[in-house]
């Protein structure tokens, strides 16, 4: 059956839509997926950080079913609805920053990023944006331009939008410290773009596709000071880091630094497509009426799911649970270091964790070894994702609601898979 489906997929779907596995899902529950042939997998991908509250959380499903019985679409810009307003009010309260805020809803993370840049340009009257190497901000043209990784995101798509500049992101395993990154930013402002033309600096508090590299607090604090000095806005892309993944509701809370604008998506609605931009009220109000929005923006079913997600995070203590799960995972991975010299670093706040592999003889990135680990885990029933500019990082994105016994089972499989890759 799987081979036949794979053949049908190849014949019907453009090859640009890549897939990591040949698992064809039949059903899923919390941290487990069963394929069309009945095989069970433990999901450590979470739909790429979308399922912090797990597959089909009962409270989310209940909220969605209740909304289905009322209405499914009116377009908020034509006939508005209360749950959109209420969710905006919640995000305005919950996001970092002791100032008045406003929110808009869109459908995808890339849309949220695009709109954040639009808002920043409208407010500042400036055009340029600074992003960082290794960052990922989406597959739309502005998203690609901001993204600091060429393959596969920019290959063959021609010229990117102008007035986007990149600086190195601090990552010790790549030989870039905080002072190195700040010095490069100063050089950028001296050589390439006048800071008086820069509307915003955008970054992920923990890089996702770039390798789960956390931004040091010293770096985030310095960026806040630079933005204040030059009249720029600071945009935190929390699309992947948000909603308890890092042990806080938002990763920026680890730094005590409030961004001017924040983008959100992925786990906001527990598997339903919803994204948001929240920011300073005066900044958010810069675009004229009609300048923001979209036909499906703030879909009422997804909004209902998001309310339930926020309830679950609070009621089930998922921020605290992320810290517990992440500590267990990192401890297990660190315990392998003596037997697996390819392990260069185990990192990540809360339950947003990764292990980076390098060739122990040369110190070079080890993407082939990394993929061996991924494939060995898949053979044993655990779905993993790789990331990093060099493809040498395994990231772990299991639901924070994963059952203790399933988590223990997965840890044993992951350890076996790393050792199997070492022995191969």
Q: What CATH number has the domain bearing residue 22? A: 3.90.1150.10
* In the predicted structure, residue 2 carries a pLDDT above the cut 80: no
pLDDT of residue 3: 82
pLDDT at 193: 98
pTM of the predicted protein model: 0.96
pLDDT tens for each residue of 282-324:
999 999 999 999 999 999 999 999 999 999 999 999 999 999 9
**Domain end among 282, 315, 348:** 315
Final residue before a domain boundary, out of 291, 315, 339: 315
| Averaged pLDDT of the chain | 97
46-104: per-residue pLDDT in tens?
999 999 999 999 999 999 999 999 999 999 999 999 999 999 999 999 999 999 999 99
74 and 102 share a domain? yes
Q: Note whether 135 and 254 are same-domain residues.
A: yes
Could you read off the pLDDT of 141-154 as tens digits, one per residue?
Answer: 999 999 998 989 99
- 84 with 226, same domain: the answer is yes
Residue 122's pLDDT is 98
- pLDDT tens digit string along 367-380? 999 999 999 999 99
310 and 392 in a single domain? The answer is no
Q: What is residue 95's predicted lDDT score, i.e. its pLDDT?
A: 98
Domain encompassing residue 338? 2-56+317-423
Same domain assignment for residues 50 and 155? no
Same-domain check for residues 128 and 275: yes
pLDDT value at residue 172 = 87
pLDDT one-digit tens code per residue, 322-348: 999 999 999 999 999 999 999 999 999
User: Is pLDDT of 1 > 80?
Assistant: no
Query: Domain of 192: which CATH number?
Result: 3.40.640.10
**pLDDT per residue as tens digits for the range 159-210:** 999 999 999 999 988 899 999 999 999 999 999 999 999 999 999 999 999 9
Give per-residue pLDDT as tens, 397-420: 999 999 999 999 999 999 999 999
Domain boundary among 315, 338, 355: 315
3-state secondary structure the chain: CHHHHHHHHHHHCCCCCCCCCCCCEEEEEECEEEECCCCEEEECCHHHHCCCCCECCHHHHHHHHHHHCCCCCCCCCCCCCHHHHHHHHHHHHHCCCCCCEEEEEECCHHHHHHHHHHHHHHHHCCCEEEEECCCCCCCCHHHHHHCCCCCCCCCCCCCCCCCEEEECCCEHHHCECHHHHHHHHHHHHHHCCCHHHEEEEEECCECCCCCCCECCHHHHHHHHHHHHHHCCEEEEECCCCCCCCCCCCCHHHHCCCCCCEEEECHHHHCCCCCEEEEEEHHHHCCCCCCCCCCCCCCCHHHHHHHHHHHHHHHHCCHHHHHHHHHHHHHHHHHCCCCCCCCEEEEECCCCCEEEEEECCCCCCECHHHHHHHHHHHHHCCEECEEECCCCCEEEECCCCCCCHHHHHHHHHHHHHHHHHHHHC
Q: Are residues 6 and 120 in the same domain?
A: no
Reply yes or no on whether the pLDDT at 424 is more than 90. Answer: no
Counting the structural domains of the chain, the total is 2
What is the share, in percent, of the chain residues with pLDDT greater than 70? Answer: 100
């Amino acid at each position: 059956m799987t081979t036949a489906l794979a053949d049908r997929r190849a014949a019907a779907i453009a090859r640009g839509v890549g897939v990591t596995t040949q698992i064809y899902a039949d059903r899923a529950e919390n941290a487990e997926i069963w394929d069309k042939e009945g095989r069970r997998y433990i999901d450590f991908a979470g739909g790429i950080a979308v399922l912090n509250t797990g597959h089909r959380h009962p409270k989310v499903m209940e909220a969605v079913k209740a909304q289905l019985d009322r209405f499914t679409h009116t377009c908020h810009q034509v006939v508005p609805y209360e749950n959109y307003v209420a969710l905006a009010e919640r995000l305005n309260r919950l996001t970092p920053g002791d100032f008045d805020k406003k929110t808009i809803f869109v459908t995808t993370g890339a849309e949220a990023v695009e709109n954040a840049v639009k808002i920043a340009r409208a407010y500042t009257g400036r055009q340029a944006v600074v992003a960082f190497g290794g960052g990922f901000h989406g597959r739309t043209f502005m998203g690609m331009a901001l993204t600091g990784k060429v393959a596969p995101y920019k290959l063959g798509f021609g010229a990117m939008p102008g007035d986007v500049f990149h600086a190195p992101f601090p990552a010790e395993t790549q030989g870039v410290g905080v002072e190195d990154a700040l010095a490069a930013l100063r050089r950028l402002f001296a050589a390439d773009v006048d800071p008086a033309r820069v509307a915003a600096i955008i970054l992920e508090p923990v890089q996702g596709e770039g390798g789960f590299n956390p931004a040091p607090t010293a770096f985030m604090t310095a960026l806040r000071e630079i933005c204040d000095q030059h009249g720029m806005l600071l945009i935190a892309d929390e699309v992947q880091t948000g909603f308890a993944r890092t042990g806080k509701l938002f990763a920026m809370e680890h730094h005590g630094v409030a961004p001017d604008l924040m983008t959100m998506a992925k786990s906001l609605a527990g598997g339903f497509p919803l994204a948001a931009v929240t920011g300073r009220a005066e900044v958010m109000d810069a675009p004229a009426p009609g300048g923001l929005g979209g036909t499906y923006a703030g879909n009422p079913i997804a909004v209902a799911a998001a309310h339930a997600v926020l309830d679950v995070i609070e009621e089930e203590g998922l921020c605290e649970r992320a810290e517990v799960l992440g500590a267990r995972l990192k401890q297990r991975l660190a315990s392998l270091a003596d037997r697996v010299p390819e392990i260069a670093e185990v990192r990540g706040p809360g339950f947003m964790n990764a292990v980076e592999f390098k060739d122990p003889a040369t110190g070079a990135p080890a993407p082939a070894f990394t993929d061996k680990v991924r494939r060995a885990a898949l053979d044993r029933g655990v779905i993993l994702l790789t990331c990093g500019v060099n493809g040498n990082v395994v990231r772990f994105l299991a639901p924070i609601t994963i059952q203790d016994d399933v988590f223990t089972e997965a840890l044993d499989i992951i350890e076996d898979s790393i050792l199997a890759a070492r022995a191969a």
